[in-house]
Amino acid sequence: MKRYQRIRALIIAIFLLGVALQGCARTAGPQEYRKDIFALNTWVNIRIYTGKEGPDILDKAIKRIEEIENRMSVTIQDSDVSRINSNAGKQPVKVHDDTFEVIKKALEYAEISNGVFDITIYPIVKLWGITSEHPRVPTEAEIQDKLRFVDYRNVVLNEAEKTVYLKEPGMGIDLGAIAKGYAADEVARILKEEGVVHALINMGGNVVAMGGKPNGQPWRIGVQDPRAEGARRHIAIIEVMDGSVVSSGDYERYFEEAGKRYHHIFDPSTGYPANSGLMATTVVAPNSIDADALSTTVFVMGVERGLELVDKLEGIDALAITFDKKIYTSKGLKGKLIVTDKEYELQP
């Protein structure tokens, strides 16, 4: 072989090798990237599949969650929510668009549920100290005293100015029942913007599924056993391609006194932890903000009222688990729920 022929053969070989490697990269498909952080008072896990810079995309998502937390946390001193609360009865407070949107949505659910969902529950949450180091059962007089401040109709929104005003001094709001849903929706929006097709976002039981699994199968989302001691286990599975699955329950945050369980979801009509016969609820909806608000609402309402409400809402489904381990579902979930634990009995 002449010298120039050898060089040509070498160039062709290198070219062919390049084509072959490219082909391999293409068949290997997008890679999985994961991130776990503690934010919004819970463990957040994001799993994405992408051929692009996975870690950068995850960092963007995490930054957004932290931004939302800094605006909506009731314990961060200069958050929008803290400023709204410390100006109750004094003056309207200008807030970020985020906070305004979430409060607006929260008030819509307060209307829909006739005040069962009510973000002005904060004075009651604080009184019971559920999220503090020293929770306690207050006296009836203390509860009645704080219940006076619970009324969502005393939250005044100014759309043009983006201000929020609590009419009565002593009032306070808490977005704990809805902010995670908003944050999960925002993460999903960012991931889509970055071209991510398949992803699973889990923010402490607030799950958003995107695009099904990379193999084309739906995501399988576990419904947690509300009475599992220690390790997490599921009692049922919901299959979703795109959408959100959010659970609420008396197992998430509670304390016990004299053998009785006092949990973190309150009935605004009594000032006591909701006592509607449920251990847990799960709501399936296109958007996580709706699923979050509704899982809390259905939990307070109980099986009958709760599922009746959900059946009226287009594209939204729910299940409710009673103390006697029966699972009730809304109409749209009939025949779709996969129960994996024989102790739990699916109702027709």
The residues with which 278 forms a beta bridge, in sequence order, are 322
- Minimum CB separation of residue 177 from ligand AMP in Å reads 3
Determine, following the binding rule CB under 5 A, whether residue 296 of this chain makes contact with Mg ion. Answer: yes
> Which member of 88, 300, 327, 333 binds ligand AMP (CB under 6 A)?
300
Site residues for ligand AMP, 119-158, by CB under 6 A, read: 119, 121, 125
Candidate segments 150-158, 208-216, 229-237, 296-304, binder of Mg ion by CB under 5 A: 296-304
| Separation of CA 151 from chain center | 24
Q: How far is the CB of 284 from ligand AMP (least distance, A)?
A: 15
Contact partner, 236, from ligand AMP, Mg ion, none, Cβ < 5-8 Å per class: none
Q: How far apart are CA 206 and CA 204, in angstroms?
A: 6
Residue 266 touches which of Mg ion, ligand AMP, none (Cβ within 5-8 Å per kind): ligand AMP
The DSSP line for 220-253 is: EEEEEPTT--SS--EEEEEEESSEEEEEEETTSS
Q: Which amino acid is at 142?
A: E
Selection from Mg ion, ligand AMP, none that 186 binds (CB < 5 to 8 A by kind) is none
Residue 232: how many CB atoms within 10 A of its CB?
Answer: 8
Residue 177 interacting with ligand AMP (CB under 6 A): yes
Do residues 64 and 194 make contact, with C-beta atoms less than 8 angstroms apart? no
Of 72, 110, 166, 177, the one binding Mg ion (CB under 5 A) is 177
Among 81, 221, 264, 320, binds ligand AMP (CB under 6 A): 264
* Least spacing, CB of residue 263 vs ligand AMP, in Å: 9
Contact 175, 103 (CB under 8 A): yes
Three-state secondary structure call for residue 35: strand
**Residue with token string 């009746």:** 308
Query: For residues 57 and 278, which CB has a smaller minimum distance to ligand AMP in the complex?
Result: 278
Per the CB < 8 A criterion, the answer to whether 332 and 314 are in contact is no
Count, residues near Mg ion per rule CB under 5 A: 4
CB atoms within 10 A of CB 213: 14
d(CA 282, CA 19): 49
Q: What is the C-alpha separation between 112 and 109, in angstroms, rounded? A: 5
Tell me whether residue 174 or residue 186 sits nearer to ligand AMP (CB atom): 174
Q: Considering the complex, what minimum distance in angstroms separates the CB of residue 219 from ligand AMP?
A: 21
The site partner of 306 among ligand AMP, Mg ion, none (C-beta below 5 to 8 Å per kind) is none
CB of 86 to ligand AMP, least distance (A): 18
The answer to whether the CB of 339 falls within 8 A of the CB of 236 is yes
Task: Say which residues have a Cβ less than 8 Å from residue 140's Cβ, sequence separation at least 6.
Answer: none
Q: Which of 252, 272, 313, 340 binds ligand AMP (CB under 6 A)?
A: 252
Task: Select from 32-40, 58-66, 77-85, 172-180 the region that touches Mg ion (CB under 5 A).
Answer: 172-180
Task: Count CA atoms closer than 13 A to 134's CA, side-chain side.
Answer: 1
Asked if 283 is part of the footprint of Mg ion (rule: CB under 5 A), the reply reads no
Helices (H) and strands (E) in the chain, counts: 9, 17
- CB 155, min distance to ligand AMP, A: 12
Bridge-based pairing state of the strands 163-166 and 198-203? unpaired
Other C-beta atoms lying within 10 Å of the C-beta of residue 142: 15
The residue (of 131 and 340) whose beta carbon lies closer to Mg ion is: 131
| Contact flag: residue 69 with ligand AMP (CB under 6 A) | no
Cβ 257 to ligand AMP shortest distance, Å: 18
Closer residue to ligand AMP in complex, CB, 50/73: 73
Where do contacts with ligand AMP occur on this chain (CB under 6 A)? Answer: 117-119, 121, 125, 174, 176-177, 248, 252, 264-266, 268, 292, 295-296, 300
**Binding site residues, Mg ion, CB under 5 A:** 177, 292, 295-296
